[in-house]
Amino acid sequence: MGQILARSLTSSRLWLAVSLLATSLLATSLFATAAFAQTGGEGLSPTLSAVKTAHTVRLGYRESSPPFSFLDQSGRPIGYSLELCEAIVEEIGVEVDDPNLKIDYVKVTSDDRIDAVLQNKIDLECGSTTANAERGKRVAFSPLMFVAGTKLMVPKASNVAGVTDLKGKTVVVTKGTTNEQAMHTADKKFSLGLNIVTASDHEQSYQMVAEGKADAFATDDILLSGLIARHKAQDKFRVTGDYLSYDPYGIMFRKGEPQLSAVVERAFRKLGSNRDLVPLYNKWFTARLPTGERLNVPISLQLEEAFKAMDDSASANN
């Protein structure tokens, strides 16, 4: 699976699209920076000011998005995205002059995560959220942390090899995801007559296929691999089909706060300059997880290049 992902994501068109999206989102952020400066943003930005007052950063986590954000055997939130967020918290501590900030973990779902940011229920969303242009109109995103795409999980015995084999069948998607729109687009494009149903989280979507209530589960390929590994169900399910969408992931936070945007960027650049991004990736995608599974998904060339772009060290510029 990891080799398939690595090969598929070497497409120059994909990398160009992701690069253009990142440039667009960055330009939007910079525009917001100027606007904020003109509206008297002296001192700390609203989020940073609230953090300083409360001595706490609220991190939104997902219960079933391995290896990005999920629960360990003791019910503690862990994952790749959460470690990135914890690095951002350290940088926030530098910015607000409080090295002992506490972390409050707040559960979010794919359906309510954006509202949780907009309604000031969390400060950083640390899950598996696609940073696309439409969402960029409402919220801000960190630099690129992963690139995934919509595929299908089906039973091993299924004769489904791609989306066109699902004609007239039931497909489950998780509510509030970009995969939901991808399936509606595919349904219309190929006149499939799909019965597209939604579940509240990835675990429930997985269980619908496991219980025979759906013929396939459509979501990002890496999440499907993570769920199959988590359930030790490699002999029961497989991931199949061409990519139905391409989804660059980022840490999500409130828009219009340039000081916070700068802190997030600085945290990523520190990780990049210290050569910590690739080892962090390998910890969660190629090594054995704390819960015992191993995904064996090597880093794609494009993500590795994105991480290199975060390296501001002198040796990187020689």
How high is the pLDDT of residue 35?
Answer: 41
Q: Could you read off the pLDDT tens digit of each residue along the chain, which spans 318 residues?
A: 433 333 333 344 444 444 545 545 544 444 444 444 333 335 999 999 999 999 999 999 999 999 999 999 999 999 999 999 999 999 999 999 999 999 999 999 999 999 999 999 999 999 999 999 999 999 999 999 999 999 999 999 999 999 999 999 999 999 999 999 999 999 999 999 999 999 999 999 999 999 999 999 999 999 999 999 999 999 999 999 999 999 999 999 999 999 999 999 999 999 999 999 999 999 999 999 999 999 999 999 989 999 999 999 856 655
How many Å apart are CA 127 and CA 226, to the nearest integer?
A: 13
CB 198 within 8 A of CB 174: yes
Query: Of 228, 246, 264, which residue constitutes the final position of a domain?
Result: 246
How high is the pLDDT of residue 34?
Answer: 41
Q: Are both 240 and 261 inside the same structural domain?
A: no
* DSSP result, 136-198: GGTEEE-S--EEEEEEEEEETT----SGGGGTT-EEEEETTSHHHHHHHHHHHHHT---EEEE
How high is the pLDDT of residue 313?
Answer: 83
Q: Are both 194 and 302 inside the same structural domain?
A: no
Which 3 state secondary structure label does DSSP give 207? Answer: helix
Q: Are both 88 and 183 inside the same structural domain?
A: no
Q: Are both 201 and 56 inside the same structural domain?
A: no
Domain that holds residue 109: 2-145+250-317
How high is the pLDDT of residue 14?
Answer: 45
pTM of structure: 0.84
How many Å apart are CA 44 and CA 52, to the nearest integer?
A: 9
**What CATH number should be reported for the domain holding residue 63?**
3.40.190.10
Q: Are both 221 and 260 inside the same structural domain?
A: no
How many Å apart are CA 102 and CA 98, to the nearest integer?
A: 10
Q: How many helices (H) and strands (E) does the chain have?
A: 11, 14
How high is the pLDDT of residue 30?
Answer: 45
Q: Are both 102 and 126 inside the same structural domain?
A: yes
How many Å apart are CA 219 and CA 302, to the nearest integer?
A: 21
Q: Are both 122 and 260 inside the same structural domain?
A: yes
- Structurally, the chain folds into a number of domains equal to 2
Enumerate residues 6+ apart whose C-beta is below 8 A from 1. Answer: 221, 225, 239, 295, 296, 297
How high is the pLDDT of residue 316?
Answer: 63
